Chain A
Amino acid sequence: MSAAPQNAAPASQTASSKVLSSPVLRFLARRLLYTAVVLLGVMVVVFALVQLVPGDPIRIALGTRYTPETYAALQAASGLDRPLPVQFFSYIGSALTGDLGVSFRNGAPVTLLLLERLPATLTLALGGLVVALLIAIPLGTLAALKEGGWADGVVRVLSQIGVSVPDFWMGMLLITLFSTVLGWLPSAGYTPFTQDPAGWLSHLLLPAVTVGLVSGAIMTRYVRAAVLDVAHAGVIRTARSKGLRRAVVLGRHLGRNALVPVLTIAGIQLATLLGGVIVVEVVFAWPGLGRMMFDAVSSRDYPVIQGAVLLIAVIFLLINLIVDLLYAIVDPRIRLA
């Protein structure tokens, strides 16, 4: 959605300071300030989530476990009995120090729960990204080189279909084919790599392909556009006019020049994937953040919902920041603009 890199750059150019003479440092400062502002906004939204629950969130979360004592204890633990501004600042303060409160369900610290689940989600998102790149780079390049030709058309339609497929349905179909019918791959679960690398891979394959197919369909378009941009730039034509062989031209110029925007998209896709794997995690019983969030929604464990949303948003912002900085370093035109 917002993912084109130029969109992610700050629009406000007012933060420039005379103290920072280097344009790189100035860009860095501006970008950090921007991220801090958005992060604050993100925390406001996450904080507001619980405030918006119609009724009393603790009462609702406790349900039949309600007693005045448990209520009072949870209220004290979550600070929901204090005045709103106090609550807000203490939430921000705690969140910044990594304290996200305790789960309403079992009293465990939310931060710990999140950290336990994060590796599984990261694994799936990275696995999906690899699959997506394996699909997008060849197809996107092919489409660009045959711009306007039938191959371009086929790739374009394929990518449209890929974008339109509900990922959980794709997951169900893959389970049916590869687990139920053929019995080649496990249909669910997760094995840490350190415990059993082969098991890790066989568990990862189906969910990663599910996630990667859709993501790859989207990335194919960006790869195509990136390659086209480079190809239209004079470099290639010049190189070819000098009589260099096509493959050499491709390898030397296209690859290097198109790599930057493609990596940018990959970074942003990774961030997107982290939040987008919820349903896939549910389908494949993958013990990641998405599955955890889904469980938290059904048990109305608001601190866990808040924590998961906040963590993923923060990762998203960080990846965006890193991508922008790398982009600025690699391609000076961006930062001087």
Chain B
Amino acid sequence: MSQLAPGAGAASGPAPETGTPGSRRASAWRLLLSSPTGAAGLVVLAVLILAAVTARWLAPYGPNDIDVPNALAPPSGRNWLGTDELGRDVFSRVLLAAEVSLQVALVSVAIALVVGVTFGVIAGYAGGWLDLVVMRSADVLFAFPILLLALAIVAIQGPAISSVMIAIGVVYTPIFARVARASTLSLRQEPYVQAARTMGVPTWQILLRHILPGISGPVTVQTSISLAFAILSEAALSFLGLGVQPPNPSWGRMLFDAQGFLASAWWMAVFPGLAILVTVLAFNLVGDAVRDVLDPRQRSMIESRRKR
């Protein structure tokens, strides 16, 4: 797993403040959908989320319905993606694993987002020693490769889905803190924020009304990219046997089980892996497209090209 999120550095700039919020948002959506990759990512994501939510009704078989005589059956009309070594339906398991994976990703990124943004905004707004402490702490966490730190945390907590959520949440917290701080720093200098301060508006109101909405752009980009990487991290931890525990289906664990059948049952290795790839790719494409929309340079480029 690589820890270098693509283009994370570029997400640290604040959103440009142009036009009224309403029109800005509408045009942002329009632009987002106009990017073919971004639109594709969004559509795939929508389908994935829908499938994950309805998985238990959609799945033709129970994820743990064992049928040993029908084990290792290749894809067919009966089992669309074949069966695994216990005769379980791979399609049903891939589908139900989507629910688990998305759940883990959402919870862990939510942890990282709430904690990271809180610290980042406070650090950026307050400045001084508080800023110093928070950002140096983030630097310390950055010194650990993501999967390494997650592995260490799971080692302490014991293998379980909750440990994985906490571990991934912790390792992604500092990046949210950085993104939020950087945006807050520049927003603090904006005339309307300065004005609010001199007028004696309470700090919490300034943070809520001006700062948080202002940093939402870069944070959104970071969220999308982090979701992608959280899914990869969860898969890796489950692959190592430290995440979702059997018999519950999970993509990483299914790949672990598939290792013994690479020569005889390719479908066991191919489909869960594809599921990870597609999901992560969708989040990345959306994150990328959102960044393009929010990045003024890129945005003008897209617009100018469209006018041509």
Q: Which residues of A contact B (CB under 8 A)?
A: 1-4, 6-7, 11-12, 37-38, 41-42, 44-45, 49, 52-54, 148, 156-157, 159-161, 163-169, 172-173, 175-176, 180-181, 214-215, 217-218, 221, 268-269, 272-276, 278-279, 282-283, 293-294, 296-298, 300, 302, 305, 308-309, 312-313, 316-317
Asked if A176 contacts B262 (CB within 8 A), the reply is: yes
Asked if B156 contacts A1 (CB within 8 A), the reply is: no
Q: Verify if B75 is at the interface (C-beta below 8 Å from A).
A: no
**What's the minimum C-beta distance from B233 to chain A, rounded to whole angstroms?**
10
Bound-state CA distance A221–B276 (Å) is 22
Asked if B136 contacts A309 (CB within 8 A), the reply is: no
Asked if B5 contacts A297 (CB within 8 A), the reply is: no
Asked if A161 contacts B143 (CB within 8 A), the reply is: no
Asked if B9 contacts A272 (CB within 8 A), the reply is: no
Once A172-B255, A175-B262, A176-B262 are accepted as A-B contacts, the answer to whether A1 and B146 lie under 8 Å apart by CB is yes
Asked if B284 contacts A160 (CB within 8 A), the reply is: yes
Q: Verify if B281 is at the interface (C-beta below 8 Å from A).
A: yes
Asked if A2 contacts B147 (CB within 8 A), the reply is: no
Bound-state CA distance A241–B231 (Å) is 49
A/B interface sample: 9 pairs, CB < 8 A: A38-B140, A157-B37, A163-B2, A169-B273, A169-B277, A173-B273, A272-B145, A302-B155, A309-B149
Partner of B258, one of A1, A172, A275, A279: A172
Asked if A6 contacts B9 (CB within 8 A), the reply is: yes
- Please give, as numbers and ranges, the residues of chain A lying within 8 Å of B228 by CB-CB distance: 164
Bound-state CA distance A169–B228 (Å) is 16
Main secondary structure of the interface of A (DSSP, over half): helix
Bound-state CA distance A296–B156 (Å) is 12
Asked if B2 contacts A164 (CB within 8 A), the reply is: no
Stretch at the interface among B20-28, B60-68, B236-244: B236-244
Partner of A218, one of B4, B12, B143, B151: B4
Once A148-B305, A166-B277 are accepted as A-B contacts, the answer to whether A1 and B175 lie under 8 Å apart by CB is yes
Considering only CB atoms, which chain B residue lies closest to A187 in the complex?
Answer: B262
- Please give, as numbers and ranges, the residues of chain B lying within 8 Å of A160 by CB-CB distance: 6, 37, 281, 284-285, 288
**What's the minimum C-beta distance from B187 to chain A, rounded to whole angstroms?**
17
**What's the minimum C-beta distance from A228 to chain B, rounded to whole angstroms?**
11
Partner of B281, one of A54, A161, A175, A308: A161
Classify chain B's interface size: 35 or more
Please encode chain B, from 209 to 252, with 1 for each CB lying within 8 Å of some chain A CB and 0 for all others: 00000000000000000001000100110011110000000001
Q: Verify if B266 is at the interface (C-beta below 8 Å from A).
A: yes
- Please give, as numbers and ranges, the residues of chain B lying within 8 Å of A157 by CB-CB distance: 37
Asked if A172 contacts B269 (CB within 8 A), the reply is: yes
Asked if A164 contacts B280 (CB within 8 A), the reply is: yes
Q: Verify if B88 is at the interface (C-beta below 8 Å from A).
A: no
Asked if A312 contacts B263 (CB within 8 A), the reply is: no
Considering only CB atoms, which chain A residue lies closest to B147 in the complex?
Answer: A278
Considering only CB atoms, which chain B residue lies closest to A313 in the complex?
Answer: B143
Partner of B148, one of A6, A300, A312: A312
Considering only CB atoms, which chain B residue lies closest to A11 in the complex?
Answer: B135
Once A3-B9, A53-B156 are accepted as A-B contacts, the answer to whether A279 and B269 lie under 8 Å apart by CB is no
Considering only CB atoms, which chain A residue lies closest to B9 in the complex?
Answer: A4
Considering only CB atoms, which chain A residue lies closest to B140 in the complex?
Answer: A41
Once A37-B136, A166-B276, A169-B255 are accepted as A-B contacts, the answer to whether A45 and B144 lie under 8 Å apart by CB is yes
**What's the minimum C-beta distance from A305 to chain B, rounded to whole angstroms?**
6
Considering only CB atoms, which chain A residue lies closest to B157 in the complex?
Answer: A54
- Please give, as numbers and ranges, the residues of chain A lying within 8 Å of B178 by CB-CB distance: 2, 7
Asked if B8 contacts A1 (CB within 8 A), the reply is: yes
Most chain A CB atoms below 10 A, which of B12, B132, B148, B178: B148
Asked if A45 contacts B141 (CB within 8 A), the reply is: yes
- Not counting A218-B2, A297-B152, A312-B145, a sample of 8 additional A-B residue pairs whose C-beta atoms are within 8 angstroms of each other reads A53-B156, A148-B305, A166-B252, A168-B255, A169-B276, A176-B262, A176-B269, A293-B148
- Please give, as numbers and ranges, the residues of chain A lying within 8 Å of B273 by CB-CB distance: 166, 169, 172-173
**What's the minimum C-beta distance from B164 to chain A, rounded to whole angstroms?**
13
- Please give, as numbers and ranges, the residues of chain A lying within 8 Å of B281 by CB-CB distance: 160-161, 164
Most chain B CB atoms below 10 A, which of A7, A173, A180: A7
Most chain A CB atoms below 10 A, which of B8, B139, B157, B239: B139
Considering only CB atoms, which chain A residue lies closest to B144 in the complex?
Answer: A313
Asked if A1 contacts B4 (CB within 8 A), the reply is: yes
Q: Verify if B95 is at the interface (C-beta below 8 Å from A).
A: no
Asked if A279 contacts B240 (CB within 8 A), the reply is: yes
Asked if B255 contacts A279 (CB within 8 A), the reply is: no
Considering only CB atoms, which chain B residue lies closest to A269 in the complex?
Answer: B4
- Please give, as numbers and ranges, the residues of chain A lying within 8 Å of B37 by CB-CB distance: 156-157, 160
- Please give, as numbers and ranges, the residues of chain A lying within 8 Å of B147 by CB-CB distance: 275-276, 278-279
- Please give, as numbers and ranges, the residues of chain A lying within 8 Å of B135 by CB-CB distance: 11
Considering only CB atoms, which chain A residue lies closest to B285 in the complex?
Answer: A160
Asked if B288 contacts A45 (CB within 8 A), the reply is: no
Bound-state CA distance A49–B263 (Å) is 41
- Please give, as numbers and ranges, the residues of chain A lying within 8 Å of B232 by CB-CB distance: 164, 166
Asked if B2 contacts A49 (CB within 8 A), the reply is: no
Most chain B CB atoms below 10 A, which of A164, A283, A305, A317: A164
Considering only CB atoms, which chain B residue lies closest to A217 in the complex?
Answer: B6
Within 247-288 of B, Cβ neighbours of A (below 8 Å) are at 252, 255, 258-259, 262-263, 266, 269, 273, 276-277, 280-281, 284-285, 288
Considering only CB atoms, which chain A residue lies closest to B155 in the complex?
Answer: A297
